[in-house]
Structure 1
Amino acid sequence: MVNPTKPWLKNYPEGVPHDVDTSGYNSLLDMFQEAFDRYPNRNACEYLDKFLTYRELDQHSKHFAAYLQALGLEPGSRIAIMLPNVLQFQIAMIGILRAGYVVVNVNPLYTARELEYQLKDSSASALVILENFAHVYQHIAADVPLKKTIVTSLGEMIGLKGAVVNFVVRNVKKLVPAWDLPGHITFNGALGEGSRHHWNKPNTTLTDIAFLQYTGGTTGLSKGAILLHKNILTNVIQTELWLEPGLKRKKVDQLVFLCALPMYHIFALTACSVLGMRKGGLLVLVPNPRDFDGFIKLLKNHPNINIFPGVNTLFNALLHKPEFATVKFPNILATIGGGMAMQKVVADQWQEMTGAPIAEGYGLSETSPVACVNSPLIESFTGYIGLPVSGTEVIILGEDGIEVPFGSPGEICIRGPQVMAGYWNKPEETKNVMTPDGFFKSGDIGIMNSDGYTKIVDRKKDMVLVSGFNVYPNEVEEVLSLIPGVLECAVIGVPDADSGEAVKAFIVRQDQSLTEEAILAFCKENLTNYKRPKQIVFRADLPKTNVGKILRRELRDL
């Protein structure tokens, strides 16, 4: 009999188990080793027409691990990766874990201020960074000294073609600002040095930390979600179990994953980078999906793509490119929408053009990320975020902390083996987002129906979601308040055709000569692109409560 408190179980696709089994694995290292042993001659990654086999990935990541161990770092040391989707990301990510260390994923577009905060908060010992962004770290290197900086380039791992790529990037497109980091080593240099050292396999367990995945959580400044080996490993298997019915529709010798989303983001990290390894798949790496001409050309050359994870804004942008109409997806098995709310109009257009419905899922960095997802067997977009994945419970709680009836809105709360161990060095923040019985409070408002399907209604907090990335008004307001001439400020999200939402700032000037241009220039220096206000409104005052708290809600209602 189905437990009445878990109505979703009766609607599980045939063959999907109610629980998830991770027995046989002591850590993610075992999962990686299994792939290396099973598929040594298969291609693991493709980047700019260069292939890396599982055997080569095994060897390179082992050498990178040996190099890091030779630096004499403490077990569990944090190593930051600031890379787009290049071969070096996969090698470094696996190498860091194989060294017994913790991966700290960093958005490559971060400003010096944002990078400094994350490196200091995580107490990172080393940084792997693309040369295009090396100048950003250079600005703060004196304040955030690291044991080692490993600098790489877009072409470093792809031989002769790489030399051409680097020449164009550096000298024609001028995409590498001047930088100087004394004592740095190149990525190939690190691999070469590591090959001369012995790799000591660490005694890693499921309860060891694998990733510090930075997120705004549900409020405030960026926090490091502590994701254990158990969390990611479980979530990869949960995702695999849910994909399996869709994968059985067509026999494929090797699954091909399109990695257009950045793998430093938790969605692509789990659904592409690690799940791809688990399945012995080929990861087709897209370093810059915003180069739509190049991206569409890549899609045309890869009719073998089976798994396409994306976000609403990416699907929408492709649909608005005339050239995309000529792209065909004859082998697509699953198109997964996540990272932000899917719009029905976009999902319907996508299915009409590609023949593939978008199966929307839901999760957060704190849930590794997948908590709910639609079956890939759906015939059309559902408007729901699907059912809780195997071994996962979702409840909808009212303001009083009591579960609400089906069909009533409340906060989506999640319990399962993929839920984080807490926020790094922030016990109070952790306590605030967990219920006494172990449910993570998502901060999102949703409605669950009697079949266990959940629909997102709104966000509890004032978070703004720009192209799938969380923007927290507190952080933007803090930066705006540093501008000379700003008396008061408030930030909200407004609908935006390109990015889903955009940041809008309301400013009360102390100095009337302060201009919109000066504010935008300051934000460019201190905030990465998606966090910057796209609209600025000057006001004589801001609406407040009787104790002086600014009412963002009233600004939104305007």
Structure 2
Amino acid sequence: MTPLTPMTRLTPQQVFDDMRAQGDMVLDKLDECAAQMPDKVYLHYGEDNIRMRFSEVKAQTDRIAAALAAMGLPPGQPVSVLTRNSLVGTLAMYAIWRAGGVFAPVNFGFRGALLSYQLNDTAPFALITDSSFAAALSEIAAEIELRRLLVHRPGAGDHDFSAGPVPDFDPRFALSDFAALRGHSGPVPHVPRGPLDIANIVYTSGTTGPSKGVLQPFRWMNHYTYPLRATTTSADVLYCDLPLYHVGGAFALVARALWQGNTVGLWDRFSPTRFWERIEDCGASSCILLDVMIPWLMNAAPRPGDRANTLNKVHMQPLPVNHNEVARRFGIDFVSCGFGQTESGSGFACVIDELGDQTGTPAALWKGRSKAEYRASCQASGRLLVDGNQPLPKGFMGRANPVLEVAILDEDDNHVPPGAVGQLAFRPRFPGLLLQEYLRKPQVTVKAQRNCWFHTGDACRQIAEAPDTYAFVDRMGGLCRVRGENVSSFDVEALLARQPGVRAVAAVPIPAQVGDEDEIAVFIEVTSGATLDEAAVRRHAQASMPGFMQPRYIRLVDALPVTATNKIEKYKLKQQLLQELGSAAA
């Protein structure tokens, strides 16, 4: 891979020192923004056309933190957050940190067993939620220990207000009004926190067991956002429509903005039909596009004004093969790519100069560094900058983060040669860069960190032609990536196994028809004498799973193929279905 500019190779210590100098503690950055630019808009919440300045966000979250402290929140205890409302989620996140708690977001698609498992596993002091989850929480009230709910109730005129009847919460819950917390007048707590203290519990899907709560230190957020911050200045506006229960939405966009004082255009969910209208509304110059979002935007009929927008920097993950075509159509000057993970943060990075000296974003709409300044900043900081016209390998992730050691390992943790596929592993050169542990799962933690390497569970390779760069190949085991969500085959199988008539289940990832992610296929061995059909399985899936987890392909079989030790041979099932789908397509 030939860089566009000669590279200044900073040492790991230089990178780490610069990262620390920019600040490990996200709350310190909020305080700085509120003091230095109190009247600048931080949150442009497009759903309700609300604009909150840095000083307002600090003041409101301080009041919520004071209310949490008055309730008796012990330092270091988690507070869970379950809401689709991204403004409420953002305010809750900062307030929990300020009060000394641990932010524990919950996937708002969960219900039933998935929801009760996470809430019981986290064992939060309280749950911040909204009235739309009354039915889902009441359904599991008898199965969870949680009793304290802090409820956001939308008012008439709010985008999430429901004019119809709203179900009541189960009487076993003790309810407090979230709006009252926002107006609390008690003293703001001052809880000492350091870079290695736990900030978050973010759940990530497992392959052979239930989802795992990843304990992230405060420094983890600094490390994760550092490469992305290098691509922007305070003049940039960030756009976020990613859910805040994921690190991409909560930290790579919303929290990251505090290090430079960026405005964030905030929406609750992605909309392919309103995406460009929103970009114009908030004047965004930088955003993140994940997999299927890109073909959805490209599927719209081309328009003469496709390039007349403010976006000049877009992070694409995974990097699509047609990244240059996307950039040329929409006038995106720079595309970044890499590897991000809930446990290991930002492992790789690359910047792609898509248009060279051609005009992408119109000059009148440009924000941030000029093209020349941007290229110079890449050269000075050692970031890999490549030409968007040159072919890049499928799954290209770029160059490794200097603060991490990187290895591609075989099953015995031996290093494999360049070009060979193995499991990606990281070793931090400095403290606090990776997860501390998996919540309540010491054996899983030890296994993941065996031989002093953190094993990512992803199959990757070192590119032989450019040995300092790497490419993603596939997920190892039974992890599926569907519409930006990591889905555990274990969770899918466990939920389907609850259906009467199911003897055994195997879930496998199948390449999606659109994008570079997966679809879920399940093979079900039916109990002898039972009556079961595909329609019944789909009804059960719809009742017990969020949409992204529901299988696209369902096959009922007499028997699942197994090894001599009775392990299901999933590779045979996957191969069988791929052959079937290939024949059908032909």
TM-score (norm 2): 0.84
- Of 178, 183, 207 in structure 2, the residue corresponding to residue 187 of structure 1 is 178
Q: After superposing the two structures, state which structure 1 stretch, 389-398 or 256-265, moved more.
A: 389-398
Aligned residue in 2 for 1:428: 443
- Kept in 1, the 8 Å contact 2:86–2:244? The answer is no
CA spacing shift, 1:17–1:179, aligned 2, 3 Å:
farther
2:16 aligned counterpart, secondary structure: coil
2:34 aligned counterpart, secondary structure: helix
Question: Following the alignment from structure 1 to structure 2, what is the Cα–Cα distance between the partners of residues 79 and 292?
Answer: 33
Cα-to-partner distance string for 1:94-133 (whole Å, 9 max, x where unaligned): 1100000001011111113211111110111111113222
Aligned residue in 2 for 1:170: 162
Instruction: Tell me the C-alpha RMSD between the 2 structures.
Output: 2.6
Aligned residue in 1 for 2:511: 495
- Kept in 1, the 8 Å contact 2:80–2:106? The answer is yes
Aligned residue in 1 for 2:545: 527
Cα-to-partner distance string for 1:235-284 (whole Å, 9 max, x where unaligned): 2234323x2xxx4xxxx763210102112211222210111121111111
- Kept in 1, the 8 Å contact 2:206–2:490? The answer is no
Aligned residue in 2 for 1:264: 245
- Of 379, 382, 396 in structure 1, the residue corresponding to residue 392 of structure 2 is 382
Q: Shift in Å at residue 44 of structure 1?
A: 0.4
Question: Following the alignment from structure 1 to structure 2, what is the Cα–Cα distance between the partners of residues 10 and 392?
Answer: 24
Cα-to-partner distance string for 1:306-346 (whole Å, 9 max, x where unaligned): 111120111111111237774446443421122xx33313x
Aligned residue in 2 for 1:402: 414
2:142 aligned counterpart, secondary structure: coil
Aligned residue in 2 for 1:4: none
- Of 355, 363, 366 in structure 1, the residue corresponding to residue 331 of structure 2 is 355
1:401 aligned counterpart, secondary structure: coil
Question: Following the alignment from structure 2 to structure 1, what is the Cα–Cα distance between the partners of residues 423 and 2?
Answer: 18
Aligned residue in 2 for 1:141: 141
Cα-to-partner distance string for 1:218-242 (whole Å, 9 max, x where unaligned): 643100011011211232234323x
Question: Following the alignment from structure 1 to structure 2, what is the Cα–Cα distance between the partners of residues 540 and 433?
Answer: 35
Aligned residue in 2 for 1:47: 45
- Of 239, 249, 254 in structure 2, the residue corresponding to residue 273 of structure 1 is 254
Q: Shift in Å at residue 12 of structure 1?
A: 8.6
Question: Following the alignment from structure 1 to structure 2, what is the Cα–Cα distance between the partners of residues 177 and 534?
Answer: 32
1:64 aligns with 2:64: yes
Q: Shift in Å at residue 77 of structure 1?
A: 1.1
CA spacing shift, 1:218–1:555, aligned 2, 3 Å:
closer
1:114 aligned counterpart, secondary structure: helix
Q: Shift in Å at residue 412 of structure 1?
A: 0.8
- Kept in 2, the 8 Å contact 1:258–1:305? The answer is yes
Aligned residue in 1 for 2:192: 203
CA spacing shift, 1:324–1:466, aligned 2, 3 Å:
farther
1:305 aligned counterpart, secondary structure: coil
Question: Following the alignment from structure 1 to structure 2, what is the Cα–Cα distance between the partners of residues 222 and 322?
Answer: 40
CA spacing shift, 1:42–1:280, aligned 2, 3 Å:
same
Q: Shift in Å at residue 144 of structure 1?
A: 2.1
CA spacing shift, 1:409–1:24, aligned 2, 3 Å:
closer
2:143 aligned counterpart, secondary structure: coil
Aligned residue in 2 for 1:482: 498
Cα-to-partner distance string for 1:392-416 (whole Å, 9 max, x where unaligned): 2211112221112222221111123
2:132 aligned counterpart, secondary structure: helix
Question: Following the alignment from structure 2 to structure 1, what is the Cα–Cα distance between the partners of residues 6 and 126?
Answer: 44
Q: After superposing the two structures, state which structure 1 stretch, 32-41 or 544-553, moved more.
A: 32-41
Question: Following the alignment from structure 1 to structure 2, what is the Cα–Cα distance between the partners of residues 83 and 324?
Answer: 36
Q: After superposing the two structures, state which structure 1 stretch, 71-80 or 213-222, moved more.
A: 213-222
Aligned residue in 1 for 2:533: 515
Note the 1:67-82 alignment, pairs <5 A: 67-82=67-82
- Aligned residue type for 2:571: R
Report the count of equivalent residues.
524
Note the 1:199-238 alignment, pairs <5 A: 199-217=188-206, 219-238=208-227
Question: Following the alignment from structure 1 to structure 2, what is the Cα–Cα distance between the partners of residues 128 and 287?
Answer: 16
1:294 aligns with 2:254: no
Question: Following the alignment from structure 2 to structure 1, what is the Cα–Cα distance between the partners of residues 339 and 304?
Answer: 28
TM-score (norm 1): 0.88
Q: Shift in Å at residue 142 of structure 1?
A: 3.3
- Aligned residue type for 1:360: C
Question: Following the alignment from structure 1 to structure 2, what is the Cα–Cα distance between the partners of residues 257 and 490?
Answer: 41
- Kept in 2, the 8 Å contact 1:412–1:445? The answer is yes
Question: Following the alignment from structure 1 to structure 2, what is the Cα–Cα distance between the partners of residues 31 and 16?
Answer: 25
Question: Following the alignment from structure 1 to structure 2, what is the Cα–Cα distance between the partners of residues 399 and 235?
Answer: 28
- Aligned residue type for 1:538: L
Q: Shift in Å at residue 39 of structure 1?
A: 1.8
Q: After superposing the two structures, state which structure 1 stretch, 456-465 or 87-96, moved more.
A: 456-465
- Kept in 1, the 8 Å contact 2:120–2:146? The answer is no
- Aligned residue type for 1:136: A
Identity %: 23
Question: Following the alignment from structure 1 to structure 2, what is the Cα–Cα distance between the partners of residues 186 and 13?
Answer: 54
Question: Following the alignment from structure 2 to structure 1, what is the Cα–Cα distance between the partners of residues 311 and 5?
Answer: 24
Question: Following the alignment from structure 1 to structure 2, what is the Cα–Cα distance between the partners of residues 478 and 324?
Answer: 46
Aligned residue in 2 for 1:20: 16
CA spacing shift, 1:268–1:26, aligned 2, 3 Å:
closer
- Kept in 2, the 8 Å contact 1:8–1:452? The answer is no
Unmatched 5+ stretches in structure 2: 354-385, 577-586
